[in-house]
Amino acid sequence: MSSHAKAAKKFIADRERTAWHDQALFFVREKRDRMAHNVPEWEALREMASNMKLHTIANLPYYLEMFEKNATANGIHVHWAKNAEEHNRIVYEIIQKHGGKNLVKSKSMLAEECGLSPYLEARGIDAVESDLGERIMQFMGTPPSHIVLPAIHVKREEVGKVFEKELHTEPGNSDPTYLTHAARAALREKFLHADIAMTGVNFAVASSGAFVVCTNEGNADMGTSFPKVHIAIMGLEKVVPDYDALALYVRLLARSATGQPSTTYTSHYKKPMEGQEMHIVIVDNGRSDILACTEHVNMLKCIRCGSCINTCPVYRRTGGYSYSYFIPGPVGINLGMLKSPEKYSGNVSACSLCYSCSNVCPVKIDLAEQIYKWRQNLAPLHLADPSKKLMVKGMRFIMNHPGLFYNAIAAGRFAERMPRFVLYNSLDAWGIGRELPEFAKETFNEMWKKGLKTD
């Protein structure tokens, strides 16, 4: 059974919760549709946004250096990190230099990717999540189950219970307004007493050296308003050429993500405020490898809006924790495979090939097509036929993915045995009758070696 199917079994055992989760996400998806329909040029906008990303990806060194030059001239300290470890170390060193102890951070998928919070915690730094959803998850001690809606799987009664314990709210009160305002009051104190602020980056504008952070709550801006140090972290694909390009993404992001015409706050940081030090860490962590994967380079266009997750019938019915990679849904299946097929191939089965994700993605990433390719590239390998053909296919697969498969080759199981997808038993039409190819029992390594020997 694939890792996803196994984990999903647990989630779907509670039918009522599954239906509730499904509906909550579909509600967001419908809001997105209404927004898209209100913009007559929506499709042309997506097309241009997609092509602008491709142009940027084709010129990443150029735009990154331009951003660095302009940001530096603006008085921002620019750092570069090859991987998660270097990123964490750079952040920690800045904190240490200032003797920081209390850090407030706004939501950042990159911090999650790098495991920053546990890293800092182990070094005695209290990193408080300030986004409400993230804060709920922090209290619960579990990771977010969605990249934009971190606590989408949590019921109000559960939030009430955890707030009762952590914030001493009234027992039994699970009114969302009451709970939100309790969190507001508690976090206000954290904001006022923080000595370091951290934010993610939605867009970095090369031509200006400014970076943009989008929130609805205002937590990023509140966080950066008091401490003497602001550290912003960004994946290197966040760079956009200029404001004309930025306009495309600002128009698409919130409409796609939550079905709002824009986020409440779209903040542009260009120079450190009076008495403040501003740092930005540009992180690679595997992104430069994605660039070399011709078939999957489109993943670098992603603006992390989450709409492919909201629309995905498998995600809606199985929840974020059914995926083994920290980003769930179509975007996570693909990014997980690019990170480590050895670890995350158990997610590629979590797709009914309905192509809904590809249809909603604001930057027109061919998500479903890519998942299909992963399956195609994995599937032939299960033909336990040690022929030359197999070897050639295996080799071609490796050649198309340089730098990514060394782990897979070096060790371990990579394609799991994949029986009937557990979900297809009871759920509706999209699943019925669609059986997945069985993957091999043998490890990739074994198959690959066999292929080599017959040559």
Partner 1 sequence: MSSRDDILARLKKHAVDQVERPEMTFEPLVYSDPLEQFKKIMKTVGGNCVVLEEGQDVNEVIRSVFPEARSIASNLPEVTCATVNPDMLDDPRELNGTDVGVIRGDFGILENGMVWINQHTRYKALFFISEALVILLDRKRLVNNMHEAYKQPAFDDFEYGCFISGPSKTADIEQALVVGAHGARAVTVILE
Least spacing, CB of residue 53 vs partner 1, in Å = 9
Out of partner 1, ligand SF4, none, which partner does residue 236 contact, by CB within 5 to 8 A per kind?
Answer: partner 1
Task: State the DSSP string of 241-288.
Answer: SSHHHHHHHHHHHHHHHTS-SS-SEEEEE-S--TT-EEEEEEE-TTHH
Alpha helices for 401-443 (secondary structure H)? 406-410
Least spacing, CB of residue 351 vs partner 1, in Å = 25
Out of partner 1, ligand SF4, none, which partner does residue 222 contact, by CB within 5 to 8 A per kind?
Answer: partner 1
Spell out, one character per residue from 318 to 357, where the chain touches partner 1: x when CB under 8 A holds, - when not: ----------------------------------------
User: With contact defined as beta carbons under 8 Å apart, do 367 and 358 qualify?
Assistant: yes
- Which 161-190 residues touch ligand SF4, going by CB under 6 A? none
Distances (CA, A) of 199 to 109, 181, 281, 314: 10, 22, 11, 31
- Which 142-171 residues touch partner 1, going by CB under 8 A? 149-152, 154-156, 159
Question: In terms of CB distance, is 136 or 233 closer to partner 1?
Answer: 136
Out of ligand SF4, partner 1, none, which partner does residue 216 contact, by CB within 5 to 8 A per kind?
Answer: partner 1
| Residue 82 CB contacts under 8 Å (≥ 6 apart), including other chains | 284, 285
Least spacing, CB of residue 109 vs partner 1, in Å = 16
Count H helices and E strands in the chain, helices first: 22, 10
Out of partner 1, ligand SF4, none, which partner does residue 235 contact, by CB within 5 to 8 A per kind?
Answer: none
Helix or strand run (H / E) with residue 106: none
Distances (CA, A) of 145 to 84, 123, 205, 269: 21, 26, 29, 29
- Which 187-246 residues touch partner 1, going by CB under 8 A? 187-188, 191-192, 208, 210, 216-219, 221-222, 225-226, 236, 241, 243-244, 246
End-to-end, the C-alpha distance of the chain in Å comes to: 32
396 near partner 1, rule: CB under 8 A: no
| Separation CA 90–CA 282 (nearest Å) | 11
180 near partner 1, rule: CB under 8 A: yes
Among 149, 302, 348, 378, binds ligand SF4 (CB under 6 A): 302
Question: In terms of CB distance, is 98 or 271 closer to partner 1?
Answer: 271
| Separation CA 360–CA 252 (nearest Å) | 11
| Separation CA 147–CA 331 (nearest Å) | 10
Q: Is 18 helix (H, G, I), strand (E, B) or coil?
A: helix
- Which 266-305 residues touch partner 1, going by CB under 8 A? 266-271, 273-274, 282, 284, 288-289, 291-292, 294, 297
- Which 319-378 residues touch ligand SF4, going by CB under 6 A? 331, 361-363, 365, 367
Out of ligand SF4, partner 1, none, which partner does residue 307 contact, by CB within 5 to 8 A per kind?
Answer: ligand SF4
| Separation CA 448–CA 395 (nearest Å) | 8
Among 181, 389, 396, 420, binds partner 1 (CB under 8 A): 181
374: exposed, middle or buried (Cβ count in 10 Å: 0-12, 13-18, 19+): buried
Binding site for ligand SF4 (CB under 6 A): 302-308, 331, 361-363, 365, 367
